[in-house]
Chain A
Amino acid sequence: MVETAPPILIENLAVTYGDHRVLDGLSLSAPEGSVTALLGGNGAGKSTTLSTLLGFVKAHAGAVSVCGVDPGVAPDAARRQIAYLPENVALYEHLTAVENAQYLLALSGGKQDRAAIVEAFAAAGLQERAWGQRLGAFSKGMRQKVAIAVALLREVPVLLLDEPTSGLDPRATADFNALVLSVRERGTAVLMVTHDLLSAADIADRICFLESGRIVEDVVAHGPDRFDVRALHARFAVATQRLAA
């Protein structure tokens, strides 16, 4: 029986910027149909982890693979497996929501027909009147919905989220979380970098605390309550205080 590589696999990853070691022996794996949250204070190495998976930052030591592809060796091939939502979703303001989706899908070779796109918009919760509007006046939540819709249409196995709920109101956060869960149901491996402990506790199957470039605690959801939020909060406070010190 052939064992397939997990969508995300990181083993003993080390990344240095000059003399500063940002990641130091980070190991992490995310299976299909899972949501993994990576929590940590500022400078803990969360964004560097995502950049390494995207092939924008080279590993100094260790191994990284996205669906079996090393992004350091074949970044373009690795990126074809990934949908990525940065903290501030970057899309084209001179294009309408539909044109953005058509353009990005054309680049990635995905489905570009309008019917499929508006279906994805509807699934992502983007209101119909926004479909033909240029993105100049879109809120962060609306942009995220466009980006998620594109990710759905691309049918990629990996979704990377960088601080997706920062700046969203509670209603938009709840909508977004529901959207992420629907993506997980399709079998996508979701890796979410966040400061938002409540959101993470709400949707993640696993929460990893990152400190000084390595995972210091790995908590898996179990039972009907999934996580002990109070304990998580205390753990997170300790981690951020230690980092600040």
Chain B
Amino acid sequence: MNPTSLIARDELRLMRRNRVAVIACLLLVLLTLVAVASSWAHQKGIEDLRARQQHEAERAFDAQPDRHPHRVVHYGTFIFRPLSALAAFDPGVDAFTGNSMFLEGHRQNTANFGDVNQSSLLVRFGQLTPAFVLQAVAPLLLIFLGYGAIARETERGTLRVLMMQGATRGAIVRGKLRALGAVALLVALPAILGLAALAATSGAAILPTVAIVLGYGAWLLLWVTVIVLVSTLVGRSRDALLALVAIWAVSVVLLPRVATDIASAAVPLQNRLQTEVAIARDLREMGDSHNPDDPHFAAFKRSVLQRYGVTRVEDLPVNYKGLLAVEGEKVTSALFDRYSGESYAAQGAQNGIVSAVGVISPAIALRSLSMAAAGTDFAAHRGFLEQAEAYRYDLVQRLNRLQADGVTYADDTARDAGADRRKRVAAGNWEEMPDFAYRAPDGATLAARSLPGLAVILGWLVFAGASLAIATRRLGERQ
């Protein structure tokens, strides 16, 4: 057996004989298994609930009686965002962004009912997920197991003993790396197996699953390297422990929080009330379809009459009120799209700032990678919102066109006793309206979105490795 293997074997033997270390390892493995099981159960519960609610919403929409189409526009419908296949591993922003939307005419609603709004305080403090265990808890365990790897040898004088037996500096450091790496693998294994099981049962794509495994592997390897590096640079175990806990607290706890605060301060987002007031003001300025003197809608009316070669709306072969509704929805939707575009741009800028801070803190990069690959990041949420808006617009315009074609202008404007019945269209029309079908991003897209985060972590790994190589050259010189 070569010196590296011998040193690694002895380091593992030391850990095995340390009851606290063994119990801590077992607890973490247990915690990871519980996290996998509870996340999987949570995901199944949410999936079933959302599927049930989606089915109920579709049934209620289809079960409407004969109605005027514009009443159906206002009746609206609910849609629910299906969970991504790997959401159980890393739920990302899902718990905070809301997962259901009420779609109706003239309005672009936001997603509602995020888990944090309807669950216990525990959800706010962070659901126990495999991602959380690997991001925050596993590095802490590695620190407590590995802080003395080299510092302990220096402190007790055994470093020279090892070197006196012919073990080179490189062999000593590699042995410690290998031992701590084996512990990291042991710690990560339950989560990786859980991820593989989740991916297999939920039909997740291979590429994002591989990206997650690579990302977390590099993350833990980075911690192993940093721990051995600090242990090499610092002469005393106690100092190494303090330094490493400080690095953990800053990079894993503090910087991710500070990054979001910086982003919020640098690019403030309008709140919902401000946005609604601004939209209402713009709508007033845009024009009123009911006002015959409104320049935009007067011009629209002239163009319609001209297109059909008539002089009065009563002579049109279609219901002018329906056409007016189509035009009104088109105009208001363009306005909504402009506001949502501005909001997306601001959120994108905020995410850009957080990513920039992520260059300093690989923990942020890992979270980005993990959420992106799991399909639970802001980009995936935005994809859902955009698909929902496209569906809403299409549904409302179908109903508006149904009004234009299925209800006569005379009936639509009549006010006699039987007019209300004549304005209705058959209930069968509602069933013909398409249901919302969310198209999740494919595996290649998710994997591509995770690459920047992976690049940052790998960059840190290279930097830490180079620093360790330099520190290794001077190991044992100043004793």
**Is A56 a contact of B1 with CB atoms below 8 Å?**
no
Partner of A84, one of B10, B14, B160: B160
**Is B14 a contact of A108 with CB atoms below 8 Å?**
no
A234 proximal to B (CB < 8 A) = no
Q: Spot the interface stretch: B45-53, B165-173, B191-199, B254-262.
A: B165-173
A107 with B6, Cβ < 8 A, contacts A56-B476, A91-B158 known: yes
- Point out the residues of chain B lying under 8 angstroms from A75, CB to CB: 163
What is the chain A residue whose CB lies nearest that of B14?
A94
- Point out the residues of chain A lying under 8 angstroms from B6, CB to CB: 103, 106-107
- Point out the residues of chain A lying under 8 angstroms from B156, CB to CB: 90
Partner of B166, one of A54, A103, A108: A108
- Point out the residues of chain B lying under 8 angstroms from A111, CB to CB: none
B17 proximal to A (CB < 8 A) = yes
What is the chain B residue whose CB lies nearest that of A154?
B165
**Is B161 a contact of A80 with CB atoms below 8 Å?**
no
> How many angstroms from the CA of A80 to the CA of B1 in the assembled complex?
18
Q: List residues 104-123 of chain A with CB under 8 A from any CB of chain B.
A: 104-109
**Is A88 a contact of B13 with CB atoms below 8 Å?**
no
B479 proximal to A (CB < 8 A) = yes
Q: List residues 156-211 of chain A with CB under 8 A from any CB of chain B.
A: none
A82 proximal to B (CB < 8 A) = yes
A92 with B163, Cβ < 8 A, contacts A56-B476, A56-B479, A106-B6 known: no
B3 proximal to A (CB < 8 A) = yes
B164 proximal to A (CB < 8 A) = yes
- Point out the residues of chain B lying under 8 angstroms from A109, CB to CB: 166
A104 with B165, Cβ < 8 A, contacts A56-B479, A94-B13, A94-B14 known: yes
B432 proximal to A (CB < 8 A) = no
A83 proximal to B (CB < 8 A) = yes
Partner of A88, one of B3, B14, B157, B479: B157
A72 proximal to B (CB < 8 A) = no
**Is A86 a contact of B160 with CB atoms below 8 Å?**
yes
> How many angstroms from the CA of A108 to the CA of B160 in the assembled complex?
13
Q: Is the interface of A mostly helix, strand, loop or mixed?
A: mixed
A79 proximal to B (CB < 8 A) = yes
B285 proximal to A (CB < 8 A) = no
B93 proximal to A (CB < 8 A) = no
A84 with B164, Cβ < 8 A, contacts A56-B476, A103-B6 known: yes
**Is A54 a contact of B167 with CB atoms below 8 Å?**
no
> How many angstroms from the CA of A167 to the CA of B477 in the assembled complex?
27
B162 proximal to A (CB < 8 A) = yes
**Is A104 a contact of B161 with CB atoms below 8 Å?**
yes
A86 with B13, Cβ < 8 A, contacts A79-B163, A107-B6 known: no
> How many angstroms from the CA of A83 to the CA of B166 in the assembled complex?
11
What is the chain B residue whose CB lies nearest that of A106?
B6
What is the chain A residue whose CB lies nearest that of B477?
A56
What is the chain A residue whose CB lies nearest that of B153?
A90
**Is B165 a contact of A56 with CB atoms below 8 Å?**
no
- Point out the residues of chain B lying under 8 angstroms from A106, CB to CB: 1, 6
Which among B17, B162, B164 has the greatest number of chain A C-beta atoms within 10 A? B164
What 1/0 flags go to B1-31 for Cβ under 8 Å of A?
A: 1010011001001100110000000000000
What is the chain B residue whose CB lies nearest that of A108?
B165
- Point out the residues of chain B lying under 8 angstroms from A95, CB to CB: 10, 13
> How many angstroms from the CA of A220 to the CA of B167 in the assembled complex?
36
- Point out the residues of chain B lying under 8 angstroms from A218, CB to CB: none
* Interface, chain B (partner A; CB < 8 A): 1, 3, 6-7, 10, 13-14, 17-18, 156-158, 160-168, 476-477, 479
7 contacts between A and B (CB under 8 A): A56-B479, A76-B168, A79-B164, A84-B160, A94-B13, A106-B1, A106-B6
* Interface, chain A (partner B; CB < 8 A): 54, 56, 75-76, 79-80, 82-84, 86, 88, 90-92, 94-95, 103-109
For the complex of A and B, list the 6 residue pairs with the smallest distance between their C-beta atoms, beginning with the closest: A90-B157, A107-B165, A108-B165, A90-B158, A108-B166, A94-B17
